[in-house]
């Protein structure tokens, strides 16, 4: 017990402490001369070589728990707030369960939190998909019921009577479907399926299996253009584009030289009300009369015209803009920017995919055997030969789909340029 005024005991010998090579004497101060303690809200910080006394564990402030970060005390509350900002999908209680450590600093806890969040996010994703499918089903059912009800009203009945859904062809209009149309049809769907596959690979892949650089002065690197390195998927995509465009040019030439262009090009304005009539008939599930061997209904004519003369050119122009063929530093690049080409190319691809799905669906729902013979055997018959040829073509497309893997395409790509990792 220290003395006050009477009988004060002599102060003990000063203590000597060595820290970082520095000697320091700490005098024994009496209560009257001792400095005031530091406030509780400002915990002392111990630096190397600093002789000041640090706060004892029992005297550490409890209002703001801290964590050590690079020799500095940081309030835990702010760290959790920062973690929540960096990981908005991680609940606050999951961060607390990591033993008072930040999710960002605790690698094990961070991995555990991410793994715990996967099932929830996946379930929410599947719920979203189910809800969208149910929404499409509800809208489709509503359209069918509305169309069926509309066909019972007198104005709609009169409209369907005046516009049956097609225009009668002239006496000189070509009939039948020649064999070259069958081959063109198969090659078109063959290339289109592979183009969509490789296009989605280019759009979605994060780490390509390899890269390809065209040889100087080759077909893929015209004179004056820089040699642009692209992924193997984009190289294959461009190769398939060339074959698809070549097939389409042959189709256009034969279409106009044989006079068959009148089957898919509108020649009068009554195509519009007839197309509306065909749409009502399709929507009510009471199909319009089918006679594809002689003519297409008005909705088919519009769909084929848009596909051949609108969607295909848009896909070609936007695709060339994003390819290695596009010339560098041209004035055209100011009008057709790369961002606009990308924004246009993907919706056109979705159009082709949707058109193909609806086309195949209607082929099977409106007389599969006869339609398949028209498309694959150039015959007006209802036997099974067309179906067998169709199934064989599906197998060929599936085999080509498998052969588009990098292990098969890399040797061919190396002969047309340089392949690198």
- Contacts by 216-219, CB closer than 8 A, 24 or more apart: 218/416, 218/417
Stronger pLDDT, 114 or 156, i.e. the higher one: 156
Residue that is written with structure tokens 């530091």 in the block: 38
Query: pLDDT tens for residues 269-283?
Result: 999 999 999 999 999
Is the model's pLDDT at 60 over the cut of 50? Answer: no
pLDDT band for 309, please (50, 70, 90 cuts): very high
- The pLDDT score that the predictor gives to residue 119 is 56
CA dist 13 → 25, 27, 133, 201 (Å): 10, 9, 87, 81
* Measured distance CA(191)–CA(194) in Å, rounded: 5
- The pLDDT score that the predictor gives to residue 116 is 47
- The pLDDT score that the predictor gives to residue 121 is 66
Phi-psi region of 196 (alpha: psi -120 to 50; beta: other; left: phi over 0): alpha
Residue 69 backbone phi and psi in degrees, to 5: -135, 105
Which of 344, 332, 284 is CA-nearest to residue 141? 284
- The pLDDT score that the predictor gives to residue 84 is 46
- The pLDDT score that the predictor gives to residue 312 is 97
pTM: predicted TM-score of the whole model, two decimal places: 0.69
Q: Are 174 and 263 in contact (CB under 8 A)?
A: yes
Stronger pLDDT, 294 or 86, i.e. the higher one: 294
- The pLDDT score that the predictor gives to residue 195 is 96
Per-residue pLDDT, averaged over 53-70, amounts to: 46
Query: pLDDT tens for residues 320-344?
Result: 999 888 887 778 888 889 999 999 9
- The pLDDT score that the predictor gives to residue 122 is 67
Per-residue pLDDT, averaged over 15-33, amounts to: 44
Per-residue pLDDT, averaged over 204-228, amounts to: 83
Helices (H), 104-261: 107-150, 154-162, 179-204, 232-257
- Percentage of the chain lying above the pLDDT 70 cut: 71
Length of the chain measured in residues = 421
* Measured distance CA(401)–CA(193) in Å, rounded: 8
Which of 227, 230, 228 is CA-nearest to residue 208? 230
- The pLDDT score that the predictor gives to residue 169 is 81
pLDDT band for 355, please (50, 70, 90 cuts): very high
Report residue 298 as tokens. Answer: 């008005």
Stronger pLDDT, 36 or 353, i.e. the higher one: 353
What value, to the nearest 5°, has the Cα angle with vertex 359 and ends 356 and 365? 140
- The pLDDT score that the predictor gives to residue 53 is 45
Q: Are 295 and 166 in contact (CB under 8 A)?
A: yes
pLDDT band for 352, please (50, 70, 90 cuts): very high
- The pLDDT score that the predictor gives to residue 276 is 96
* Measured distance CA(414)–CA(212) in Å, rounded: 8
Encode burial over 239-270: b for 16+ CB neighbours within 10 A, e otherwise: bbbeebbebbeebeeebeeeebbbbbebeeee
Which of 235, 287, 260, 170 is CA-nearest to residue 410? 235
* Measured distance CA(106)–CA(85) in Å, rounded: 16
Query: pLDDT tens for residues 250-267?
Result: 999 999 999 999 999 998
* Measured distance CA(377)–CA(257) in Å, rounded: 22
Read off the DSSP letter of residue 307: I
Q: Are 20 and 47 in contact (CB under 8 A)?
A: no
Query: pLDDT tens for residues 153-210?
Result: 999 999 999 999 998 887 778 889 999 999 999 999 999 999 999 999 998 888 898 9
Per-residue pLDDT, averaged over 111-121, amounts to: 51
Q: Specify the 3-state DSSP secondary structure of 283.
A: helix
- The pLDDT score that the predictor gives to residue 127 is 86
Is the model's pLDDT at 24 over the cut of 90? Answer: no
For the chain, the 3-state helix, strand and coil shares in percent, each to the nearest 5, are 55, 5, 35
- The pLDDT score that the predictor gives to residue 228 is 83
Per-residue pLDDT, averaged over 394-398, amounts to: 97
Average model confidence (pLDDT) for the chain? 79
Q: Domains of the chain, with CATH numbers?
A: 87-150 (no CATH), 157-420 (1.20.950.20)
* Measured distance CA(95)–CA(102) in Å, rounded: 7
Q: What is the DSSP string of 342-360?
A: HHHHHHHHHHHHHHHHHHH
Query: pLDDT tens for residues 133-152?
Result: 999 999 999 999 999 999 99
Q: What is the DSSP string of 224-257?
A: TS----EEHHHHHHHHHHHHHHHHHHHHHHHHHH
- The pLDDT score that the predictor gives to residue 66 is 45
Count of helices and strands (H, E) across the chain: 14, 7
């Amino acid at each position: 017990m220290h003395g006050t005024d009477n009988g004060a005991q002599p102060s003990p010998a000063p203590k000597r402490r060595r820290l970082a090579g520095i000697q320091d004497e700490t005098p024994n101060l009496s209560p009257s001369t001792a400095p005031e303690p530091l406030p509780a809200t400002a915990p002392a910080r111990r630096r190397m070589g600093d002789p000041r006394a640090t706060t004892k564990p029992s005297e550490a402030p409890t209002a703001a728990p801290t964590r050590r970060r690079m020799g500095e005390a940081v309030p835990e509350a702010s760290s959790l707030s920062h973690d929540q900002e960096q990981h908005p999908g991680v609940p606050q209680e999951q961060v607390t369960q990591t033993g008072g450590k930040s999710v960002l600093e605790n690698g094990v806890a961070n991995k555990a939190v991410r793994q715990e969040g996967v099932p929830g996010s996946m379930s929410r994703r599947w719920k979203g998909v189910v809800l969208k499918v149910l929404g499409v089903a509800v809208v489709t059912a509503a359209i069918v019921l509305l169309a069926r009800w509309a066909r019972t009203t007198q104005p709609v009945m009169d409209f369907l009577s005046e516009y049956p859904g097609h225009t009668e062809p002239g006496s000189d209009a070509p009939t039948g479907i020649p064999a070259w149309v069958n081959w063109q049809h198969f090659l078109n769907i063959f290339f289109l399926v592979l183009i969509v596959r490789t296009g989605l690979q280019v759009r979605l892949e994060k780490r390509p299996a390899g890269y390809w650089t065209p040889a100087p002065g080759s077909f893929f690197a015209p004179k004056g253009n820089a040699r642009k390195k692209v992924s193997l998927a984009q190289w294959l995509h461009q190769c398939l584009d060339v074959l698809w465009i070549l097939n389409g040019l042959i189709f256009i030439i034969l279409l106009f030289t044989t006079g068959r262009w009148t089957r898919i090009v509108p020649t009068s304005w009554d195509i519009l009300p007839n197309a509306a009539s065909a749409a009502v008939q399709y929507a009510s599930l009471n199909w319009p009369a089918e006679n594809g061997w002689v003519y297409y209904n008005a909705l088919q004519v519009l769909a084929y015209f848009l596909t051949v003369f609108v969607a295909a050119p848009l896909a070609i122009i936007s695709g060339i803009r994003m390819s290695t063929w596009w010339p560098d530093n041209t004035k055209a690049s100011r009008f057709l920017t790369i961002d606009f080409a990308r924004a246009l190319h993907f919706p056109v691809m979705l159009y082709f995919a949707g058109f193909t799905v609806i086309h195949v669906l209607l082929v099977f729902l409106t007389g599969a055997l006869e339609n398949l013979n028209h498309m694959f055997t150039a015959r007006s018959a209802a036997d099974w030969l067309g179906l067998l040829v169709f199934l064989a073509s599906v197998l060929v497309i599936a085999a080509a789909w498998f052969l588009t893997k990098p292990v098969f395409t890399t040797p061919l790509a190396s002969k047309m340029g340089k392949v690198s990792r």
